[in-house]
Amino acid sequence: MELRTLRYFVAVAEELHFSRAAARLGISQPPLSQQIKALEEELGGRLLVRTNRRVALTAAGELFLDEAREVLARAERASRLVSRLGRGESGQLRIGFTTSVPLTPLLPRTLTHYRQRYPDVDLRMHELNSQRQIAPLLEGDLDIGIMRPATLPPELSAFTLIREPLVAVVNAQSELGASDTPLSLAELATQPFVYFSPAAGTGLLDQFNVLFAQRGLTPRLVQEVGGPNTIISLVASGLGVSLLPESFRHIHIDNVRYRPISDADARSEVWLTHPRHHLTPQAQHFIQIVREAIAG
Amino acid sequence: MELRTLRYFVAVAEELHFSRAAARLGISQPPLSQQIKALEEELGGRLLVRTNRRVALTAAGELFLDEAREVLARAERASRLVSRLGRGESGQLRIGFTTSVPLTPLLPRTLTHYRQRYPDVDLRMHELNSQRQIAPLLEGDLDIGIMRPATLPPELSAFTLIREPLVAVVNAQSELGASDTPLSLAELATQPFVYFSPAAGTGLLDQFNVLFAQRGLTPRLVQEVGGPNTIISLVASGLGVSLLPESFRHIHIDNVRYRPISDADARSEVWLTHPRHHLTPQAQHFIQIVREAIAG
DNA sequence: GTCTTTGATATCCTTTAGATATCATTCAGG
DNA sequence: CCTGAATGATATCTAAAGGATATCAAAGAC
């Protein structure tokens, strides 16, 4: 017994007429008669009484009609549900992101598009620093990570979403805060620094260290903190200077001034990171949309 | 999508191993891979992730596994239910019978056998006189009628279950009640008669009329009654004589004596009547068993 | 009685499922 | 790091099942 058989039987039971049912099914009448006959043989009893040019259901046929409809409905429902899920039109999408990412227009814009295109996907956003996104990505607890550059295990793959210059964060009342002109890293390194602690897990710290090390500079850290907002606050209070991606310019705080960096390699990136293989369809769609947003 | 596809998918999802699943299904591995692939294409998404010699379910696959099991279970249930009903192992059987029938051992014996063989059939016995069984038989409200000979419409068919002699029912105190020897219809016809009214609907009345008319006898009816028990009671009270099938001998009432009839054609029959075509399987089985009981 | 309707039957063809042989990938173990 | 076993994918062929066409048989309708 196959679903086709059930579809055929339901058609005949509804039309009570083999030829009409066959036309409805888009097949010719003889195979339909044969299929019904085979079904009756398999079940071991008549489902239809073919009498004097009239077709009627037996008691068994009545019962089977109900049951067959039920089975077909369930099968169709299963197909629909799984199809939607498999096509990434439902289900969920779990995205990790760092603090700085919502400051750029790219992510909000992408999320808006994605929501419009896939309104039935349950979108779960998790604010996590770069390091803390890696384990969930590996374990399948996160589908996509949006993070600063980091050393990734080979199971993860990434591409650059945003490339932005670094800017100096200085106190407006301080010596360096007197101007808006570009500043070199060497100049900046003369000042006491407020920066992330290694425990903060951000990829920016690595970049920071590399940049200064390449120039033989060792800035004096006066305070290690956990988050960029704290950095900016402490700069505002005059504790020292800092170096952050340009998107933090969106954070306006009294007494804080952002100055461009003249060094050409003082740039930072935002990565989209994902498991190298076996992306969920939802994640594939998200990546598709984010790529469109970058291109457009 | 067919049930076979679902069975295949469930096997793979349970084994998480194509070759083992194929072995379990009794097919070889390549067609199984192809069927799963085709299923995934139809649904528009992956159900299984084939990674490094390990097979795992996707989210869509997990969902589809549940759904597929459900569909298969329902289909099997439908098949089982309908099969039982269609084979006459469940459902119901409605039998009409006249008053005299339970007096013979045939019907109780047949019912016992039938119940043993088909314990799940809902057996409904309706005590109805011969005439009143015809309409329900025609309209499908009765599957089988057990009745006295009657004129049947062509849609009904009958065969003889029991052939039994008629006996005179006489009052023990009366002149005819003095002996047990055979009596002729002519002798009996000299006495006042107690018999069925035409409204009683019994086939016996027709036979009665024919028997006497053939001999040019016109017995004097002193009382028309509705049922055989009333006839016997009235004979007991001395109102007259009567003529009944031998099975009524089982009814022992004081002052009533049964005497054989010497006329060879003074016999009656019990018929099993049924719709000529389209017997339900339950009815077919009952007829089969009743025939065995007659033969054995 | 003849014609039309309608399901069943017979035969052939097309499609699809399944078998066999082989390949590609991966991972275990030396 | 290389070799070999394990395992799913691919290619090709065969067998079976589904479906089409032609025709028949039974039963009402006129």
Same domain as B61, residue B193 = no
Backbone angles phi, psi at A96, to 5 degrees: -95, 145
Residues 124-183 of A with CB under 8 A from B: none
CB contact under 8 A, B51 and A278: yes
> What is the SS3 assignment for A237?
coil
B33-43 tens-digit pLDDT: 999 999 999 99
Residues of B with Cβ-Cβ distance to A74 under 8 angstroms: 67, 70-71, 74
Facing residue for B74 by CB, picked from A70, A79, A86: A70
Task: Mark residue A169 as left, alpha or beta (left: phi above 0; alpha: psi -120 to 50; beta: remaining).
Answer: beta
* B75·A6 Cβ contact <8 A: yes
Q: How far is residue A207's CA from residue A202's CA, in Å, rounded to a whole number?
A: 10
Q: What is the pLDDT of residue B57?
A: 92
**Residue B126 above 80 pLDDT?**
yes
Q: Using CB atoms and an 8 Å cut-off, which of residues 62-101 of chain B contact chain A?
A: 63-64, 67-68, 70-71, 74-75, 77-79, 81-83, 85-88, 91
**More confident site: A245 or B100:** A245
* CA A94/CA A212 separation, integer angstroms: 35
pLDDT exceeds 90 at position B17: yes
Q: Which of residues 16-35 of A touch strand D (CB under 7 A)?
A: 26-31, 34-35
Asked if B4 CB < 7 A from strand D, the reply is: no
| Facing A79 at nearest CB: one of B43, B83, B281 | B43
Alpha helices in chain A (DSSP H): 3-15, 18-25, 29-43, 59-86, 106-117, 130-139, 185-188, 203-214, 228-236, 281-295
Distance CA A64, CA A14 (A): 12
pLDDT over 90 at B66, yes or no: yes
Residue type, B74: R
Query: Residue B101: its pLDDT value, please?
Result: 84
**Which of A47, A64, A82 minimises the CB distance to B63?**
A82
Say yes or no: B264 and B274 in one domain. no
CB atoms within 10 A of CB A127: 11
Residue of B nearest to A78 (CA): B67
Are residues B64 and A78, on separate chains, in Cβ contact within 8 Å? yes
How many domains does chain B divide into? 3
CA–CA distance, A13 with B75 (Å, rounded to integer): 17
Q: Among A63, A86, A109, which residue terminates a domain?
A: A86
Same domain membership, residue B265 and residue B170: yes
**Do A280 and A134 reside in the same domain of the chain?**
yes
- Average the pLDDT over B52-69 and give the result: 90
Q: In which residue ranges of chain A is pLDDT below 50?
A: none
Report chain B residues whose CB lies below 8 A from the CB of A68. 78
For residue A173, count other CB atoms closer than 10 A to its CB: 11
Hunting for tokens 């170096």 — which residue is that?
A: A243
From chain B, pick out residues whose CB is under 8 angstroms from the CB of A8.
none
Q: Are strands B54-57 and B193-196 parallel, antiparallel or unpaired?
A: unpaired
The beta-carbon neighbor of B2 closest among A2, A43, A46 is: A2
Mean pLDDT of B163-191: 93
Of B45, B70, B77, the CB nearest to A87: B45
**Which residues are CB-neighbours of B283 under 8 A, at least 6 positions away?**
B93, B143, B144, B274
Chain A residue with CA closest to B62: the answer is: A82
| pLDDT at B116 (0 to 100) | 95
| B196 in the same domain as B284 | no
Residue A163 burial class via C-beta count within 10 angstroms: exposed 0-12, middle 13-18, buried 19 and up: exposed
CATH number at residue A118: 3.40.190.10
Strand D nucleotides with an atom less than 7 Å from a protein beta carbon: 6-12, 18-22, 26-28
Closest nucleotide to A32: CA versus each C1'? D19
The Cα B287–Cα B279 span in angstroms is 10
- How many helices (H) and strands (E) are present in chain A, helices listed first? 10, 11
pLDDT of residue A72: 95
pLDDT, mean of residues B109-137: 93
- pLDDT score of B211 more than 90: yes
Q: What confidence category does residue B52 fall into, taking pLDDT thresholds of 50, 70 and 90?
A: low
pLDDT digits (tens, 9 = 90+) for B212-261: 999 999 999 999 998 888 999 999 999 999 999 999 999 999 999 999 99
Give the nearest chain B residue to A5 (CA atoms).
Answer: B2
Nearest protein residue to nucleotide D6 (CA to C1' distance) is B53
Q: Do A280 and B70 touch (CB under 8 A)?
A: no
Over residues B101-107, mean pLDDT: 86
The confidence score (pLDDT) of residue A52 equals 66
A38 CA → C16 C1’, Å: 19
The reply to whether B58 has its C-beta less than 7 Å from any atom of strand D is: no
3-state secondary structure of B144: strand
Average pLDDT, chain B: 92
The answer to whether A82 and B45 are in contact (CB under 8 A) is yes
Structural domain ending residue among the three candidates A31, A58, A86: A86
The torsion region of residue B261 among left (phi > 0), alpha (psi -120 to 50) and beta comes to beta
Cα end-to-end distance, chain B, whole Å: 53
| φ and ψ of B162, to 5 deg | -135, 140
User: With contact defined as beta carbons under 8 Å apart, do A262 and A182 qualify?
Assistant: yes
A34 and A10 both lie in a single domain? yes
**Rounded Cα gap, residues A19 and A41, in angstroms:** 21
A35 CA to D25 C1' in angstroms comes to 20
Chain A: closest CA distance from residue B290 (Å): 21
Q: Which domain holds residue A101?
A: 92-157+274-295
Q: How many CB pairs under 8 A join A and B?
A: 112
Alpha-carbon gap, residue B193 to B213, rounded angstroms = 15
Tokens 């649904």 identify what position?
Answer: B43
Residues B80-90 have pLDDT tens digits of 999 999 898 99
Residue-wise pLDDT for B195-206, tens only, equals: 999 988 888 898
In angstroms, rounded to a whole number, what is the distance separating the alpha carbons of residues A30 and A8?
Answer: 12
Paired tokens of A270: 């935002």
Q: Do B85 and A63 touch (CB under 8 A)?
A: yes
One domain for residues B253 and B177: yes
Nucleotide minimizing C1' to CA distance for residue B29: D8
Q: Are residues A148 and A279 in the same domain?
A: yes
B38: contact with A, CB 8 A cutoff: no
Contact A98, A129 (CB under 8 A): yes
Does B82 contact A45 at a Cβ distance shorter than 8 Å?
yes
Q: Are residues A99 and A153 in the same domain?
A: yes
Do B154 and B118 fall into the same domain? yes
Q: What confidence tier does B184 reach under pLDDT thresholds 50, 70, 90?
A: very high
- For residues A201 and B278, give the distance between their C-alpha atoms in angstroms, rounded to a whole number: 81
Q: Is B90 left (phi over 0), alpha (psi -120 to 50) or beta?
A: beta
Same domain flag for A145 and A109: yes
> Is the separation of the CB atoms in B250 and B103 below 8 Å?
yes
**Average pLDDT, integer, range B125-143:** 91
What pLDDT does residue A202 have?
A: 87
User: To the nearest 10°, the Cα dihedral for B7, B10, B14, B17?
Assistant: 80
Same domain for B191 and B254?
Answer: yes
The DSSP bridge pattern shows strands A221-225 and A193-196 to be: parallel
The structure tokens 């457009």 sit at: A296
pLDDT-derived band at B105 (thresholds 50, 70, 90) equals: confident
Statement: the CB of A267 is under 7 Å from strand C: no
CA dist B209 and B183 (Å) reads: 18
* Domain CATH code at residue A62: 1.10.10.10
Query: Token digits for A10?
Result: 């339901």
Question: At residue B252, what are phi and psi to the nearest 5 degrees?
Answer: -95, 115
Tell me how many helices (H) and strands (E) chain B has.
10, 11
Q: Residue B151, CB, less than 7 Å from strand C? A: no
